[in-house]
Amino acid sequence: MGADHARILAKDVPAAELRVICDASEARARDLGETFGARHVLTDPMAALSRDDVDAVLIASPDDTHAALTIAALEAGKNVLCEKPLAPTSADCLRVIETEMRLGVRRVHVGFMRRFDPAYTAMKAALDDGIIGGALMMHNFHRNVAAPDWFTGKMAISNSAPHEFDIGRYILGIDYISITAAQSANGRTIAPVFMTLETTDGQLVNIEVNNNAAYGYDVRGELVGETGSVELGAPKHATYNVSLQSAQRFDEDWRPRFSEAYRLQNKAWIDGIANGTPERRLATAWDGLCSTLVAEAGVSALAAGVKQAIKTPAMPAVYMREK
Ligand code: ISE
Protein backbone atom coordinates (compact mmCIF):
# COMPACT_ATOMS: atom_id res chain seq x y z
CA MET A 1 0.00 0.00 0.00
CA GLY A 2 2.90 2.36 0.76
CA ALA A 3 4.34 1.65 -2.68
CA ASP A 4 0.97 2.48 -4.28
CA HIS A 5 0.75 5.75 -2.37
CA ALA A 6 4.31 6.60 -3.47
CA ARG A 7 3.27 6.00 -7.07
CA ILE A 8 0.13 8.15 -6.70
CA LEU A 9 1.99 11.03 -5.04
CA ALA A 10 4.83 10.91 -7.58
CA LYS A 11 2.68 10.48 -10.70
CA ASP A 12 -0.83 11.84 -9.97
CA VAL A 13 -0.42 14.71 -7.48
CA PRO A 14 1.50 17.56 -9.18
CA ALA A 15 1.53 19.70 -6.02
CA ALA A 16 3.49 17.02 -4.16
CA GLU A 17 7.19 16.22 -4.40
CA LEU A 18 8.08 12.71 -3.23
CA ARG A 19 11.19 13.51 -1.18
CA VAL A 20 11.77 10.44 1.04
CA ILE A 21 10.89 6.74 0.94
CA CYS A 22 11.25 5.05 4.33
CA ASP A 23 10.81 1.30 4.69
CA ALA A 24 12.06 -1.41 7.04
CA SER A 25 13.65 -3.01 3.97
CA GLU A 26 16.39 -0.79 2.55
CA ALA A 27 16.37 -2.77 -0.69
CA ARG A 28 12.64 -2.26 -1.16
CA ALA A 29 12.90 1.43 -0.26
CA ARG A 30 15.78 1.90 -2.70
CA ASP A 31 13.88 0.16 -5.49
CA LEU A 32 10.83 2.37 -4.89
CA GLY A 33 12.98 5.48 -4.59
CA GLU A 34 14.59 4.79 -7.95
CA THR A 35 11.24 3.92 -9.56
CA PHE A 36 9.39 6.98 -8.33
CA GLY A 37 12.25 9.49 -8.08
CA ALA A 38 12.44 9.99 -4.31
CA ARG A 39 15.62 11.86 -3.43
CA HIS A 40 16.35 10.01 -0.18
CA VAL A 41 15.91 6.40 0.98
CA LEU A 42 15.78 5.66 4.71
CA THR A 43 14.99 2.77 7.06
CA ASP A 44 14.57 4.86 10.23
CA PRO A 45 11.14 6.56 10.32
CA MET A 46 12.23 9.00 13.02
CA ALA A 47 15.06 10.21 10.78
CA ALA A 48 12.53 10.73 7.99
CA LEU A 49 10.07 12.58 10.25
CA SER A 50 12.69 15.00 11.56
CA ARG A 51 13.87 16.27 8.16
CA ASP A 52 13.37 19.99 7.56
CA ASP A 53 12.72 19.33 3.86
CA VAL A 54 9.66 17.18 4.65
CA ASP A 55 6.27 18.91 5.13
CA ALA A 56 3.92 15.93 5.03
CA VAL A 57 4.14 12.25 5.90
CA LEU A 58 2.02 9.39 4.57
CA ILE A 59 2.07 6.44 6.98
CA ALA A 60 1.35 2.99 5.49
CA SER A 61 3.25 0.80 7.95
CA PRO A 62 1.68 -2.07 9.95
CA ASP A 63 -1.45 -1.04 11.88
CA ASP A 64 0.11 -1.23 15.36
CA THR A 65 2.79 1.34 14.40
CA HIS A 66 0.34 3.97 13.13
CA ALA A 67 -0.34 5.90 16.36
CA ALA A 68 3.28 6.25 17.51
CA LEU A 69 4.46 7.37 14.06
CA THR A 70 1.54 9.79 13.74
CA ILE A 71 2.31 11.34 17.14
CA ALA A 72 6.01 11.62 16.30
CA ALA A 73 5.14 13.33 13.01
CA LEU A 74 2.81 15.78 14.80
CA GLU A 75 5.51 16.60 17.35
CA ALA A 76 7.88 17.23 14.41
CA GLY A 77 5.35 19.71 12.94
CA LYS A 78 4.38 17.55 9.98
CA ASN A 79 1.02 16.99 8.28
CA VAL A 80 -0.04 13.34 8.33
CA LEU A 81 -2.14 11.03 6.19
CA CYS A 82 -2.27 7.79 8.17
CA GLU A 83 -3.62 4.67 6.49
CA LYS A 84 -6.58 3.10 8.28
CA PRO A 85 -6.98 2.18 11.02
CA LEU A 86 -5.56 5.19 12.89
CA ALA A 87 -4.78 2.62 15.59
CA PRO A 88 -6.13 -0.82 16.48
CA THR A 89 -7.07 0.47 19.96
CA SER A 90 -9.24 3.46 20.94
CA ALA A 91 -6.70 4.31 23.65
CA ASP A 92 -4.03 4.88 21.00
CA CYS A 93 -6.47 6.86 18.83
CA LEU A 94 -7.12 9.09 21.86
CA ARG A 95 -3.36 9.62 22.30
CA VAL A 96 -3.25 11.02 18.76
CA ILE A 97 -6.27 13.26 19.42
CA GLU A 98 -4.80 14.48 22.70
CA THR A 99 -1.55 15.35 20.88
CA GLU A 100 -3.39 17.34 18.20
CA MET A 101 -5.39 19.22 20.83
CA ARG A 102 -2.31 19.92 22.99
CA LEU A 103 -0.45 21.27 19.96
CA GLY A 104 -3.54 23.24 18.90
CA VAL A 105 -3.46 21.78 15.40
CA ARG A 106 -5.59 19.50 13.22
CA ARG A 107 -3.01 17.99 10.94
CA VAL A 108 -3.97 14.30 10.95
CA HIS A 109 -6.09 12.69 8.27
CA VAL A 110 -6.95 9.00 8.08
CA GLY A 111 -7.00 6.96 4.85
CA PHE A 112 -10.72 6.25 4.59
CA MET A 113 -10.50 6.77 0.85
CA ARG A 114 -13.94 5.34 0.04
CA ARG A 115 -15.32 8.79 0.91
CA PHE A 116 -13.75 9.88 -2.41
CA ASP A 117 -14.94 6.87 -4.46
CA PRO A 118 -17.31 8.04 -7.25
CA ALA A 119 -19.82 5.25 -6.50
CA TYR A 120 -20.05 6.03 -2.77
CA THR A 121 -20.14 9.75 -3.68
CA ALA A 122 -23.22 9.07 -5.84
CA MET A 123 -24.80 7.04 -3.04
CA LYS A 124 -24.33 9.90 -0.54
CA ALA A 125 -25.64 12.46 -3.06
CA ALA A 126 -28.82 10.42 -3.62
CA LEU A 127 -29.51 10.46 0.12
CA ASP A 128 -28.58 14.14 0.58
CA ASP A 129 -30.72 15.14 -2.42
CA GLY A 130 -33.77 13.29 -1.02
CA ILE A 131 -34.05 10.91 -3.99
CA ILE A 132 -34.69 7.79 -1.83
CA GLY A 133 -36.32 9.39 1.20
CA GLY A 134 -35.00 8.85 4.69
CA ALA A 135 -32.32 6.14 5.10
CA LEU A 136 -33.55 2.91 6.71
CA MET A 137 -30.77 0.34 6.13
CA MET A 138 -27.39 -0.12 4.51
CA HIS A 139 -26.18 -3.49 3.24
CA ASN A 140 -22.43 -4.02 2.73
CA PHE A 141 -20.37 -6.88 1.26
CA HIS A 142 -16.58 -6.71 1.55
CA ARG A 143 -14.81 -9.64 -0.08
CA ASN A 144 -11.07 -10.15 -0.53
CA VAL A 145 -9.55 -12.88 -2.71
CA ALA A 146 -7.42 -14.41 0.04
CA ALA A 147 -6.12 -13.30 3.41
CA PRO A 148 -2.34 -13.01 3.86
CA ASP A 149 -0.80 -15.48 6.27
CA TRP A 150 -0.44 -12.79 8.99
CA PHE A 151 -4.16 -11.93 8.86
CA THR A 152 -6.12 -13.03 11.97
CA GLY A 153 -9.85 -13.75 12.33
CA LYS A 154 -10.50 -10.60 14.33
CA MET A 155 -8.70 -8.52 11.67
CA ALA A 156 -11.77 -9.02 9.47
CA ILE A 157 -13.35 -6.62 11.99
CA SER A 158 -10.37 -4.48 13.04
CA ASN A 159 -8.59 -4.09 9.69
CA SER A 160 -11.10 -4.69 6.86
CA ALA A 161 -14.48 -3.60 8.26
CA PRO A 162 -13.31 -0.13 9.40
CA HIS A 163 -13.97 0.95 5.81
CA GLU A 164 -17.65 0.06 6.15
CA PHE A 165 -17.85 1.46 9.70
CA ASP A 166 -16.55 4.79 8.41
CA ILE A 167 -18.41 5.01 5.09
CA GLY A 168 -21.70 4.17 6.80
CA ARG A 169 -21.09 6.86 9.44
CA TYR A 170 -20.03 9.36 6.73
CA ILE A 171 -22.94 8.73 4.31
CA LEU A 172 -25.65 8.49 6.98
CA GLY A 173 -24.26 11.25 9.21
CA ILE A 174 -24.65 9.09 12.30
CA ASP A 175 -22.77 7.26 15.01
CA TYR A 176 -23.40 3.65 15.98
CA ILE A 177 -25.02 2.51 19.24
CA SER A 178 -24.59 -1.27 19.04
CA ILE A 179 -23.03 -4.15 17.10
CA THR A 180 -23.52 -7.91 16.88
CA ALA A 181 -21.01 -10.18 15.13
CA ALA A 182 -20.93 -13.83 14.14
CA GLN A 183 -18.54 -15.96 12.11
CA SER A 184 -19.52 -18.90 9.92
CA ALA A 185 -18.26 -22.07 11.55
CA ASN A 186 -16.87 -23.82 8.50
CA GLY A 187 -13.46 -24.31 10.02
CA ARG A 188 -11.42 -22.17 7.64
CA THR A 189 -8.78 -19.91 9.24
CA ILE A 190 -10.47 -16.66 8.24
CA ALA A 191 -14.12 -17.60 7.86
CA PRO A 192 -16.59 -14.86 6.86
CA VAL A 193 -17.80 -12.51 9.58
CA PHE A 194 -21.31 -11.01 9.57
CA MET A 195 -22.14 -7.92 11.60
CA THR A 196 -25.32 -5.94 12.28
CA LEU A 197 -25.11 -2.40 13.67
CA GLU A 198 -27.75 0.00 14.97
CA THR A 199 -27.29 3.73 14.48
CA THR A 200 -28.16 6.83 16.49
CA ASP A 201 -30.90 7.54 13.91
CA GLY A 202 -32.48 4.07 14.22
CA GLN A 203 -31.07 2.64 11.00
CA LEU A 204 -29.68 -0.88 10.57
CA VAL A 205 -26.31 -1.43 8.87
CA ASN A 206 -25.12 -4.93 8.04
CA ILE A 207 -21.65 -5.89 6.90
CA GLU A 208 -20.31 -9.17 5.52
CA VAL A 209 -16.52 -9.44 5.48
CA ASN A 210 -15.10 -12.46 3.68
CA ASN A 211 -11.33 -12.32 3.42
CA ASN A 212 -11.13 -15.60 1.53
CA ALA A 213 -13.79 -15.13 -1.15
CA ALA A 214 -11.40 -16.68 -3.73
CA TYR A 215 -13.27 -15.43 -6.89
CA GLY A 216 -12.25 -11.77 -6.77
CA TYR A 217 -12.09 -8.50 -4.86
CA ASP A 218 -15.77 -7.59 -4.57
CA VAL A 219 -17.16 -4.66 -2.55
CA ARG A 220 -20.91 -4.05 -2.79
CA GLY A 221 -23.33 -1.79 -1.03
CA GLU A 222 -26.98 -0.82 -1.09
CA LEU A 223 -28.49 2.10 0.77
CA VAL A 224 -32.22 1.49 1.36
CA GLY A 225 -34.50 4.50 1.85
CA GLU A 226 -38.20 5.03 2.48
CA THR A 227 -38.96 5.53 -1.24
CA GLY A 228 -36.11 3.81 -3.05
CA SER A 229 -32.57 2.45 -2.83
CA VAL A 230 -29.13 3.15 -4.28
CA GLU A 231 -26.79 0.29 -5.19
CA LEU A 232 -23.03 0.78 -5.39
CA GLY A 233 -21.70 0.50 -8.94
CA ALA A 234 -18.28 -1.02 -9.48
CA PRO A 235 -16.12 0.21 -12.40
CA LYS A 236 -16.26 -2.63 -14.95
CA HIS A 237 -14.29 -1.48 -17.97
CA ALA A 238 -15.01 -4.38 -20.30
CA THR A 239 -17.28 -7.38 -20.86
CA TYR A 240 -15.60 -10.41 -22.46
CA ASN A 241 -17.82 -12.38 -24.89
CA VAL A 242 -16.02 -15.58 -25.82
CA SER A 243 -16.82 -19.28 -26.21
CA LEU A 244 -20.57 -18.81 -25.83
CA GLN A 245 -20.02 -16.96 -22.57
CA SER A 246 -20.09 -13.34 -21.39
CA ALA A 247 -17.93 -12.38 -18.41
CA GLN A 248 -16.52 -9.43 -16.52
CA ARG A 249 -13.34 -9.49 -14.51
CA PHE A 250 -12.97 -8.80 -10.81
CA ASP A 251 -10.00 -6.87 -9.48
CA GLU A 252 -7.39 -8.81 -7.52
CA ASP A 253 -7.45 -6.39 -4.60
CA TRP A 254 -8.56 -2.94 -3.42
CA ARG A 255 -5.86 -0.94 -5.23
CA PRO A 256 -7.33 -1.07 -8.75
CA ARG A 257 -10.94 -1.09 -7.47
CA PHE A 258 -10.41 2.13 -5.51
CA SER A 259 -7.63 3.69 -7.61
CA GLU A 260 -9.67 6.83 -8.34
CA ALA A 261 -10.61 7.18 -4.67
CA TYR A 262 -6.96 6.99 -3.59
CA ARG A 263 -5.96 9.53 -6.27
CA LEU A 264 -8.68 11.99 -5.25
CA GLN A 265 -8.01 11.51 -1.52
CA ASN A 266 -4.25 12.01 -1.82
CA LYS A 267 -4.67 15.06 -4.09
CA ALA A 268 -7.22 16.57 -1.68
CA TRP A 269 -4.81 15.98 1.22
CA ILE A 270 -1.89 17.72 -0.50
CA ASP A 271 -4.04 20.56 -1.88
CA GLY A 272 -5.48 21.11 1.61
CA ILE A 273 -1.97 21.45 3.04
CA ALA A 274 -1.00 23.89 0.26
CA ASN A 275 -4.08 26.13 0.67
CA GLY A 276 -4.53 25.71 4.41
CA THR A 277 -8.10 24.38 4.17
CA PRO A 278 -8.57 20.60 4.47
CA GLU A 279 -11.19 19.22 2.05
CA ARG A 280 -14.23 18.28 4.16
CA ARG A 281 -14.33 14.63 2.98
CA LEU A 282 -10.89 13.94 4.46
CA ALA A 283 -11.33 11.78 7.56
CA THR A 284 -9.92 13.26 10.77
CA ALA A 285 -8.35 11.60 13.80
CA TRP A 286 -11.81 11.77 15.40
CA ASP A 287 -13.24 9.73 12.50
CA GLY A 288 -10.39 7.28 13.10
CA LEU A 289 -11.34 6.99 16.78
CA CYS A 290 -15.03 6.41 15.96
CA SER A 291 -14.17 3.58 13.55
CA THR A 292 -11.84 1.91 16.05
CA LEU A 293 -14.45 2.15 18.83
CA VAL A 294 -16.84 0.19 16.59
CA ALA A 295 -14.13 -2.34 15.73
CA GLU A 296 -13.32 -2.92 19.43
CA ALA A 297 -17.02 -3.49 20.19
CA GLY A 298 -17.28 -5.78 17.16
CA VAL A 299 -14.37 -7.94 18.29
CA SER A 300 -15.96 -8.17 21.76
CA ALA A 301 -19.34 -9.05 20.21
CA LEU A 302 -17.74 -11.82 18.17
CA ALA A 303 -15.97 -13.25 21.22
CA ALA A 304 -18.96 -12.96 23.57
CA GLY A 305 -21.64 -13.90 21.06
CA VAL A 306 -23.90 -11.10 22.29
CA LYS A 307 -24.74 -7.55 21.19
CA GLN A 308 -22.26 -4.94 22.42
CA ALA A 309 -23.12 -1.30 23.08
CA ILE A 310 -20.97 1.37 21.38
CA LYS A 311 -20.39 4.52 23.41
CA THR A 312 -19.05 7.35 21.24
CA PRO A 313 -17.91 10.39 23.28
CA ALA A 314 -19.08 13.89 22.36
CA MET A 315 -17.04 15.26 19.44
CA PRO A 316 -14.68 18.11 20.47
CA ALA A 317 -15.56 21.37 18.71
CA VAL A 318 -12.21 21.42 16.91
CA TYR A 319 -13.28 18.33 14.90
CA MET A 320 -16.72 19.63 13.93
CA ARG A 321 -17.05 20.40 10.24
CA GLU A 322 -18.91 23.34 8.84
CA LYS A 323 -22.08 21.95 7.25
C1 ISE B 1 -6.91 -3.51 3.52
O2 ISE B 1 -6.07 -3.06 4.58
C3 ISE B 1 -7.64 -2.34 2.95
O4 ISE B 1 -7.64 -1.25 3.47
C5 ISE B 1 -8.56 -2.68 1.84
O6 ISE B 1 -9.21 -1.51 1.36
C7 ISE B 1 -9.58 -3.68 2.35
O8 ISE B 1 -10.42 -4.07 1.28
C9 ISE B 1 -8.88 -4.90 2.92
O10 ISE B 1 -9.86 -5.79 3.43
C11 ISE B 1 -7.94 -4.49 4.04
O12 ISE B 1 -7.28 -5.64 4.56
The model carries a pTM of: 0.96
**Rounded distance from Cα 310 to ligand 1 centre (Å):** 23
Q: How many other C-beta atoms lie within 10 A of the C-beta of residue 208?
A: 19
pLDDT, block means (10 residues), the chain with 323 residues: 97 97 97 96 96 97 97 98 97 98 96 98 98 98 92 88 98 98 79 96 97 96 98 92 96 97 98 95 98 98 97 93 62
Q: How many other C-beta atoms lie within 10 A of the C-beta of residue 247?
A: 11
Q: Rounded to 5 degrees, what are φ and ψ at 72?
A: -65, -40
Cβ of residue 144 lying under 6 Å from some atom of ligand 1:
yes
CATH topology of domain 2-113+263-283: Rossmann fold (3.40.50)
Cβ of residue 124 lying under 6 Å from some atom of ligand 1:
no
The pLDDT of residue 185 is: 80
**Rounded distance from Cα 160 to ligand 1 centre (Å):** 5
The pLDDT of residue 189 is: 64
C-alpha neighbours within 13 Å on the C-beta side of residue 26? 3
CATH topology of domain 115-254+288-309: Dihydrodipicolinate Reductase; domain 2 (3.30.360)
Q: Which part of the chain is CATH 3.40.50.720?
A: 2-113+263-283
Best of 83, 144, 232, 258 for a ligand 1 pocket test (most atoms within 8 Å of beta carbon): 144
Q: Which part of the chain is CATH 3.30.360.10?
A: 115-254+288-309
Cβ of residue 158 lying under 6 Å from some atom of ligand 1:
no
